[in-house]
Amino acid sequence: MLILKKQIADAIGAAIAAKYPTATVEAAEIAGMLEYPPDPAMGDLAFPCFKLSRTLRAAPPAIAAALSESVACEEVARVEVAGGYLNFFADRAALALRVVNAVAEEGDTYGSPRCGEGKTVVLDYSSPNVAKPFHIGHLGTTVIGHSLKLLHEFAGYHCVGINHLGDWGTQFGKLIVAYRKWGSREEVEAGEIDELVRLYVRFHAEAEQDESLNDQARAEFTKLEAQDEENIALWKWFIEISLREYQKTYGMLGISFDSYNGESFYTDKMPRQIEVMREKNILTLDDGATVVNLDEYGMPVCLILKRDGSTLYPTRDIAAAVYRRETYDFDKCIYVTSAGQSLHFAQWFKVIELMGYDWADRLVHVPYGTVSINGAKLATRTGNVVLLKDLFAQAVEKARAITAEKNPNLENLDEVAESVGVGAIIFHYLMNNRMRDINFILEDALSFDGNTGPYAQYTYARTASILGKAGSAGKMCAYEMNEAETLLVKTLAAFPEAVKNALADYEPSVITRYILDLCAAFNRFYHDCQIVTCAEEAVREARVAMTAATHTVLGRALSLICMKKTEKI
């Protein structure tokens, strides 16, 4: 509806210029005032005149009445005055011709705002801690981050996906101690990451009884920092095992990264940034630690160096940001992490600014809510996690059983089952606003009924089946459409605006909710209208064209939230 909004905004602007020649109201401002009425009977778009009352020095109803006399728009059938509102009713045939033909002509690029052409965006997401498994706590950063990457690519940006692995820290000292005390190479090679997790969990259980284990872990990490050959070899081995496991999950999600540079990569890049802070005279001592005081910005001090001179997360993140700016010359650098890290990012973003880097305002933190399992907090050290591979396996098995029952002769059953099963988990997670805390109840996540991923994929498969029977994409024509056809066209027209809003708010759930709207509109259209069997040739062609447009837009929308398209189910 963006094009219709622009047409109406331009028409209102022209009417204001004609009726109120001394007033100046920008078309962009007018477009921002346009609203979608809560009831279609009130029009397709509404313009509230209240905000113009002071500028035009007239009462809203008087403004609405005056503008209605001269406002004219190509795709508007009529304009009605309702108090202080101008209600616009679209010309259904004109809207349908433009939208359906635009989808046919533009194909998979329909809906792209093309606002990113010539620009680069770096996205830091997923970033699991090495030697720990993928569990549902990692699902948020992974699918939100990748969806944002897909959205930015769709908008024309050159995207660089970075998996900032948690591959440094005292956790490796703990794992090294646990491996030497209770593990063996044979057991780790056989159990891989599951065995590493078992050792990590055991370390914490044993450390509760023997606190000296923590001292041993710190000592082993100190040796690792000093490049001890044996510890370095173990560390690299743990990373290799972890990446091999992570790639299985990324493969199921269709995700790849341009860089796996983790925390350890920036170890030798921090001293230069600490020196910049010294030159800018922003470092102070606080109880032996080196900090940047942020009192005047309403934040606690940002720790840069511990008392012993070792670095912390802000130090590494600052060094990483500078490296990425110098390497990729980004226009935006997006970090997708839990909302619990919001203060951390606000602090070091401010430090980057105080260091004099004029690109500090190009750093964007995209937070998301917490995940719990049946109300219990996730914790790897206690074993309270649901592994993604186990969750995916359950979903895929359920999808296989349901699909085999409905379509026992389906050739690519395993491929479809994986697409539908994994898609069910993704859709369940991305259906809500990213800031909402999620209590992950497995039964709900694996449900295939109602507003779910499988419902969306089944709808997509239905459009493919209809097009297969029709034998052609159809041709749109102008005719008197019913309510179901009109709703479908208006929903197709809303896709570009959904993409624009999802990008502006860094919110994939905008696309997920749009998918549900499009599925509902198409399934009503399918129920109310004969398509392939329609006796009137021109109407049949038009309805097939609308089905083809739905197939294209729904397929593109699914791909933007990391879901695979299913031509047959």
Contact 473, 404 (CB under 8 A): no
> Which one has a higher pLDDT value, 412 or 372?
412
Which residue reads 């359920």 in tokens?
398
Instruction: Tell me the Cα Rg of the chain.
Output: 28
Burial profile 460-474: b = 16 or more Cβ within 10 angstroms, e = fewer: bbbbbebbeebeebb
What pTM was estimated for this model as a whole?
A: 0.92
Nearest Cα neighbor of 94 from 71, 78, 83 is 78
Q: What is the pLDDT of residue 434?
A: 94
**Most confident of the following: 72-81, 134-143, 286-295:** 286-295
The answer to whether domain 390-560 has CATH 3.40.50.300 is: no
**Most confident of the following: 39-43, 194-198, 330-334:** 330-334
Taking the C-alpha atoms of residue 180 and residue 207, their distance in angstroms, rounded to an integer, is: 15
Contact 147, 561 (CB under 8 A): yes
2-90 shares its CATH topology with 390-560 = no
Confidence of residue 69 (pLDDT cuts 50, 70, 90): confident
N- to C-terminal Cα separation, the chain? 32
> Which one has a higher pLDDT value, 1 or 241?
241
Contact 58, 84 (CB under 8 A): no
Q: What is the pLDDT of residue 539?
A: 96
Which residue reads 């064209």 in tokens?
545
Q: What is the pLDDT of residue 205?
A: 92
Nearest Cα neighbor of 390 from 183, 252, 254 is 252
Nearest Cα neighbor of 166 from 123, 124, 201, 214 is 124
Angle at alpha carbon of residue 202, lines to 197 and 204, rounded to 5°: 100
Q: What is the pLDDT of residue 312?
A: 85
Average pLDDT over residues 284-302: 95
Q: What is the pLDDT of residue 418?
A: 94
Average pLDDT over residues 542-554: 98
Angle at alpha carbon of residue 474, lines to 470 and 78, rounded to 5°: 130
What number of CA atoms fall less than 13 Å from residue 98's CA on the CB side?
Answer: 16
pLDDT above 60 for 301: yes
Taking the C-alpha atoms of residue 379 and residue 204, their distance in angstroms, rounded to an integer, is: 11
Q: Tell me, what amino acid is at 164?
A: H
Taking the C-alpha atoms of residue 18 and residue 20, their distance in angstroms, rounded to an integer, is: 6
For the domain spanning 2-90, the CATH number is 3.30.1360.70
Q: What is the pLDDT of residue 439?
A: 82
pLDDT, tens only, 465-484: 999 999 888 899 989 999 99
pLDDT above 80 for 444: no
pLDDT above 90 for 95: yes
Which residue reads 């606002």 in tokens?
115
pLDDT above 60 for 493: yes
Taking the C-alpha atoms of residue 83 and residue 126, their distance in angstroms, rounded to an integer, is: 51
**Rounded mean pLDDT of the chain?**
92
Q: What is the pLDDT of residue 379?
A: 56
Taking the C-alpha atoms of residue 493 and residue 471, their distance in angstroms, rounded to an integer, is: 25
> Which one has a higher pLDDT value, 380 or 527?
527
Instruction: Give the C-alpha distances (Å, rounded to integers) separating 509 from 143, 347, 506.
Output: 11, 28, 9
Written as six digits, the tokens of 265 are 């990569």
Instruction: Answer left, alpha or beta for residue 309, where phi above 0 means left and psi between -120 and 50 means alpha.
Output: left
pLDDT, tens only, 379-433: 555 555 678 888 899 889 999 998 898 888 888 899 999 999 999 999 999 999 9
**Contact partners, residue 27, CB within 8 Å, separation at least 6:** 6, 9, 10, 13
Written as six digits, the tokens of 206 are 């044993």
Q: What is the pLDDT of residue 438?
A: 83
Taking the C-alpha atoms of residue 315 and residue 319, their distance in angstroms, rounded to an integer, is: 6
pLDDT, tens only, 245-275: 999 999 999 999 999 999 999 999 999 999 9
Q: What is the pLDDT of residue 260?
A: 94
**How many Cβ atoms from other residues are within 10 Å of residue 39's Cβ?**
6
Domain boundaries, the chain: 2-90, 169-258, 390-560
Contact 493, 500 (CB under 8 A): no
Nearest Cα neighbor of 419 from 563, 320, 532 is 563
Taking the C-alpha atoms of residue 178 and residue 206, their distance in angstroms, rounded to an integer, is: 10
